[in-house]
Amino acid sequence: MVKIPKSHPRRNSLLSRNAIVDATKKGLLADSALIAHGRGEAFDYLLGEQTSEIAKLSIKESAARLINANNPVISINGNTAVLAGKSLIRVAAVLGCPIEINIYYRTEERINNLHDFLEAERMVVSKEIGPSNWLGDWEKSVLAVKILGKEEDGRIIGLEGPRAICSADGIEKADVVLVPLEDGDRCEVLISLGKEVLVVDLNPLSRTAKMATVTIVDEVSRMADILLEYIVENSSEVTEWDNKLALKESLKIISRNAN
Amino acid sequence: MVKIPKSHPRRNSLLSRNAIVDATKKGLLADSALIAHGRGEAFDYLLGEQTSEIAKLSIKESAARLINANNPVISINGNTAVLAGKSLIRVAAVLGCPIEINIYYRTEERINNLHDFLEAERMVVSKEIGPSNWLGDWEKSVLAVKILGKEEDGRIIGLEGPRAICSADGIEKADVVLVPLEDGDRCEVLISLGKEVLVVDLNPLSRTAKMATVTIVDEVSRMADILLEYIVENSSEVTEWDNKLALKESLKIISRNAN
């Protein structure tokens, strides 16, 4: 891994890039993962590489909807696992919900690699001290987080081929799904099944961003840390969320930064 | 390679993506090439995936400066070779100038791979019918294009390590350098050596874009085809180019499209 000085103004962005390159070599990611990461970098650059006020509001809204859900699930693809796997395991531990590995180009090998990767991350997280202001047995809660994705016992009705495969106890059953870095088709179908879909997408113009119930326009690792804070705080007030208006706010930031 | 329907609205973008993924597998590109491509995709998306009027003007200006140069050279890195190698060989044939392979993460293997790749592309181009409105022996002109980069007999003064290596008959000697997808450091040093630097960069906010003599904010394969047209037309009127103003025009387009 390339060394990046602590003082580098874009250190976090470069560390993320290295993590993605390394994970590709380890077989965790599809070919297109690096390209997708690059697209994200460009949008994050235009967003100033920081979590905006509107992004914070959308994270808060997502926290509330996850807290109030009957069967919340956190869907994780390769890039999300690499960039925010640990943080989202913490979120799942506090929420008491499962994580489901769900990837666009599904191969058994990659599902298994990602499963092993997340199991190892879970072990690391279980040895941490839990979040301050959170009461409970941290190790027990982390070890109780189910990492689904290998079962293939559920289906996403409306999708064809390998992309329809999901877990019966995960996405199939869920009423609220957090799906960072999702694609437009799957987002659309999950919405049509009546689920609340909370997405994380740095491109406020993408079809996913436009389709979702709540779109968090933020980098996934920054987002995950803030989401954990709101969930630990038990910030549970769901509002009548105007996602179109929220997307407009993010677009305004890009527009301003490009001026 | 994935099949993309002819009617797909983003066909060109998806074909380019496939070409870059394939070239990575063949060892033509560094790990970071896919990420760089993704960043380009995002900016091109915001630019509407078409060559803007200001981009056309900057291509015209670059054509004129290449035509009037004493020792023009076209510097080509991995992504440029894959996306626009053939078109830039055509440009070099009409200009009668060399091409130099110059890559950020220099390894002998990648230089050799890219050299073989461009030699093969040159053979293909030499069998084409030349551009209409151009008089001359096409095959002879194409076969006369030198593909430099392996010699390592020149230095870019001001850079350290492998990045300083260049060809004495190429970048070292050149007064005007066309360097698509260049990095900021090298662009800065080339400028400081008194060379005119014409860059192609989809990010009008990048350091390269800001440093260059003329910045073409356009996708490199679209750019290369238009550049060839201007050069065949012998469009040779150099103006007092205001690059800052040109960059502002491109930023306005992004800003408008994000609104």
Question: At A73, is the secondary structure helix, strand, or coil?
Answer: strand
Give the one of B21, B36, B258 whose C-beta lies nearest to A258's C-beta: B258
Give the one of B38, B205, B256 whose C-beta lies nearest to A39's C-beta: B38
Do residue B24 and residue A31 have CB atoms under 8 angstroms apart?
yes
B39: confidence class by pLDDT, cuts 50, 70, 90: very high
B43 shares contact with chain A (CB less than 8 Å)? yes
Q: Which residues of A touch B13 (CB under 8 A)?
A: none
Tokens for B94, please give them: 């009409």
Do residue A255 and residue B258 have CB atoms under 8 angstroms apart?
yes
Residue located via tokens 């192609």: B200
Query: What is the complex's ipTM, to 2 decimals?
Result: 0.87
B251 shares contact with chain A (CB less than 8 Å)? yes
Q: Which residues of B touch A217 (CB under 8 A)?
A: none
From chain A residues 158-187, the ones with a CB under 8 A of any chain B CB are none
pLDDT tens-digit series, residues A78-109: 999 999 999 999 999 999 999 999 988 889 99
Tokens for A158, please give them: 């409306």
Q: Which residues of A touch B20 (CB under 8 A)?
A: 35
Cα distances (angstroms) measured from residue B13 to each of A76, A146, B44: 26, 39, 9
Q: Which residues of B touch A42 (CB under 8 A)?
A: 38-43, 203
Q: What local confidence, expressed as pLDDT, does residue B14 receive?
A: 86
- Tell whether the model's pLDDT for residue A1 goes beyond 60: no
Give the one of A25, A38, A251 whose C-beta lies nearest to B258's C-beta: A251
Q: What local confidence, expressed as pLDDT, does residue B3 receive?
A: 74
Do residue B35 and residue A38 have CB atoms under 8 angstroms apart?
yes
Q: What is the dihedral of CA B115, B119, B125, B131, to 10 degrees?
A: 60
Q: Which residues of A touch B32 (CB under 8 A)?
A: 17, 21
Give the one of B38, B203, B252 whose C-beta lies nearest to A34's C-beta: B38
Tokens for A186, please give them: 């799957």
Do residue B42 and residue A37 have CB atoms under 8 angstroms apart?
no
Cα distances (angstroms) measured from residue A197 to each of A146, A166, A177, A218: 20, 15, 5, 16
Q: Which residues of B touch A43 (CB under 8 A)?
A: 42
**No. of H helices and E strands in chain B?**
10, 8
Phi and psi based region of residue A154 (left: phi greater than 0; alpha: psi -120 to 50; beta: remaining): beta
Residue located via tokens 């002879």: B140
Q: What does the pLDDT average to over B123-150?
A: 96
Among candidates B131, B42, B29, B9, which has minimal Cα distance to B83? B29
Go through A57-71 and write b for each residue having 16 or more CB atoms within 10 A of its CB, e for each that does not: bbbbbbbbbbbebeb
Neighbours of A193 (CB within 10 A): 16
pLDDT tens-digit series, residues B173-219: 999 999 998 888 889 999 999 999 999 999 999 999 999 999 999 99
Q: What local confidence, expressed as pLDDT, does residue A193 receive?
A: 96
- Tell whether the model's pLDDT for residue A175 goes beyond 60: yes
Among candidates B194, B179, B221, which has minimal Cα distance to B51? B221
Q: What local confidence, expressed as pLDDT, does residue A6 receive?
A: 83
B2: confidence class by pLDDT, cuts 50, 70, 90: low
A214 neighbors A257 (Cβ within 8 angstroms): no
Nearest CA in chain B to A18: B32
Shortest alpha-carbon distance between residue A191 and chain B (Å): 24
- Tell whether the model's pLDDT for residue A4 goes beyond 70: yes
- Tell whether the model's pLDDT for residue A2 goes beyond 70: no
Do residue A258 and residue B254 have CB atoms under 8 angstroms apart?
yes
Among candidates B35, B14, B33, which has minimal Cα distance to A79? B35
pLDDT tens-digit series, residues A23-57: 988 889 987 899 999 999 999 999 999 999 999 99
- Tell whether the model's pLDDT for residue B47 goes beyond 60: yes
Q: What is the pTM of this model?
A: 0.90
CA atoms within 13 A on the CB side of A78: 29
Nearest CA in chain B to A41: B39
Do residue B39 and residue A34 have CB atoms under 8 angstroms apart?
no
CA distance A81 to A76: 6
Among candidates B214, B221, B182, B219, which has minimal Cα distance to B202? B219
